[in-house]
Amino acid sequence: PQGSEEAKAFVSAFLKRSMPRKKDEAIQDLLTRKAVVLEHYSKKKTKQKRKKTKGFTAKQRREMRLFEIEPEQQRYAIFLPLHELWKQYIRDLCHGLKPDAQPHMVQSKLLKADLHGAIVTVTKSKCPSYVGITGIILQEFKHVFKIITKEDKLKGKIFFIVPKLNNVFSLEIDGFISYIYGSKFQLRSSERSAKKFKLKGTIDL
């Protein structure tokens, strides 16, 4: 390996041969102001593959009890603020629910809206024990509603899992009453926004 003085001499001699028209002062100025790159190899950047995060399976969710509400939280009064938020959400969605609003337009928006927090009543059912159940929807799944009611002394419980199939539900907001035919409503809440509901058709339980 060469020493620092020998390296300087080599660089000066090399630059003089490479740039014979430049004076020594210009060469020295070049060395102090600019970097001379002799060789450069660009390294290709390897893109790291992103790992897709896998969610829990339905079995894992059941085992972890993610959708279960603890008994001490199953109180109607706790979820009344949720209902007030839902009403404001529907008013904003329907532009205030004005008296001159067309019913079919409101109905179409309600069918695609999120129903968590809505107060519903089972008005018709093939199972008579479901008729009259009124409460706040806490959870909606593809085939069932989980509803919390006021203390029901007759049935002896406050929390109901009501199937959509063979049931007709009604919900009321600002005087507007809408009916949901559960047999035609077997969708997850996230899927309804893209669903086209028919305004006319066969309606049954």
Residues 92 and 189 in one domain: yes
Confidence band, pLDDT 50/70/90 cuts, at residue 36: low
Angle at CA of residue 87, ends 86 and 93, nearest 5°: 90
Does residue 45 fall inside a structural domain?
Answer: no
What residues contact residue 116 under an 8 Å CB cut-off, 6+ apart? 82, 86, 137, 138, 139, 140, 189
Does residue 93 fall inside a structural domain?
Answer: yes
Which structural domain, as residue segments, surrounds residue 26? 1-33
Does residue 43 fall inside a structural domain?
Answer: no
Q: Please give the span between the terminal C-alpha atoms of the chain, in angstroms, as a whole number.
A: 94
Q: In a 10 Å sphere around its CB, with 0-12 CB exposed, 13-18 middle and 19+ buried, how is residue 95 labelled? A: exposed
pLDDT confidence of residue 144: 92
Could you read off the pLDDT of 46-100 as tens digits, one per residue? 777 777 777 778 788 778 877 777 777 788 889 999 999 999 999 888 877 777 7
Residues 184 and 84 in one domain: yes
Could you read off the pLDDT of 147-198 as tens digits, one per residue? 999 875 556 568 889 999 999 999 988 888 888 888 888 888 777 777 776 6
Does residue 48 fall inside a structural domain?
Answer: no
pLDDT confidence of residue 40: 47
Say if residues 122 and 168 touch (Cβ distance below 8 Å). Answer: yes
Strand 176-181's sheet: what is its strand order? 157-163, 144-152, 134-140, 119-125, 167-173, 176-181
Q: How far apart are CA 167 and CA 101, in angstroms?
A: 28
Average pLDDT, the chain: 79
Residues 111 and 173 in one domain: yes
pLDDT confidence of residue 39: 45
Confidence band, pLDDT 50/70/90 cuts, at residue 119: very high
Residue 146 pLDDT > 80 = yes
State the DSSP string of 22-85.
S-HHHHHHHHHH-PPP----PPPPPPPPPPPPP---HHHHHHHTTTPPPGGG--GGGGHHHHHH
Does residue 62 fall inside a structural domain?
Answer: no
Does residue 47 fall inside a structural domain?
Answer: no
Number of domains into which the chain is organized: 2
Of 25-39, 112-126, 186-200, the range with the highest mean pLDDT is: 112-126
Percent of the chain residues past pLDDT 70, beyond the cut: 83
Residues 171 and 102 in one domain: yes
Could you read off the pLDDT of 78-92 as tens digits, one per residue? 999 999 999 999 988
Residues 75 and 28 in one domain: no
Residues 75 and 169 in one domain: yes
Residues 10 and 75 in one domain: no
| 144 Rama class: left (phi>0) / alpha (psi -120 to 50) / beta | beta
CATH number of the structural domain spanning residue 80: 2.30.30.210
Classify residue 188 by its DSSP letter: -
Neighbour tally for 138: CB within 10 Å: 19
Say if residues 141 and 101 touch (Cβ distance below 8 Å). Answer: no
Does residue 3 fall inside a structural domain?
Answer: yes
What global pTM score does this model have?
A: 0.64
Does residue 129 fall inside a structural domain?
Answer: yes
Residues 13 and 101 in one domain: no
**Is the CA virtual torsion 150, 153, 157, 161 positive or negative?**
negative
Say if residues 182 and 124 touch (Cβ distance below 8 Å). Answer: no
